[in-house]
Homo-oligomer: A and B are copies of this chain.
Amino acid sequence: MQAKRPVPTSRSLDEAVDAVLASSRALVAVSARSIAGAQGVTLPQYRMLVVLSGTATNLTVLAAALDVAPSTALRMVDRLESAGLLERSVNPENRRETRLTLTGAGRRAVRTVNARRRRDLAAVLARLSPEEQAALANAMTAFARAADTLWPGEAATIS
């Protein structure tokens, strides 16, 4: 485990950029694959359902969480409500607001896609040795931490 490699110079940054850039498409492909295989729910809809599976909110908060315009979120809500995946209900405290809540079918859809993603991802990782798996987990965690330090809260809500 202890690599005796000489400490890389700043040239390693370029190489790391190349490797990450070239490999990220594979990562994106796995996600796209899992969501495309889901029945009927599109990727933007899945993102919305994921947000609502965390906490039920109103429209403007939801739109901000997804980083889309309120009108966009509204029409997506319309479609998801028609599909029976979420419900509108008026907030008695503030009659301007509309509380948006996932239905059972909505929660089921999120679980299904999540399971698919985890299964597909596990299938890929199973081809790596346990050491490689651990190294990947560490490296990805470090990357996420660095990205969040640089641009806090900019992580798109995709999973």
Contact = CB atoms under 8 A, between A and B. Distances in A.
Looking at chain A's contact residues, the main secondary structure is: helix
B26 A144 contact: yes
Contact of A142 (B9, B132, B148): B132
Q: What number of copies of this chain does the assembly contain?
A: 2
A16 B18 CA distance: 22
A24 interface: yes
Interface residues of A, number: 64
Interface in A101-159: 117-118, 121-128, 130-144, 146-151, 154-159
Contacts of A22: 140-141, 144, 159
Contacts of A9: 122, 130
A86 to B, nearest CB: 22
Per CB-CB distance, the 10 closest pairs between chain A and chain B, nearest first, are A19-B137, A23-B140, A23-B144, A136-B139, A127-B146, A16-B133, A26-B147, A26-B144, A16-B137, A8-B130
Interface of A: 5, 7-10, 12-33, 117-118, 121-128, 130-144, 146-151, 154-159
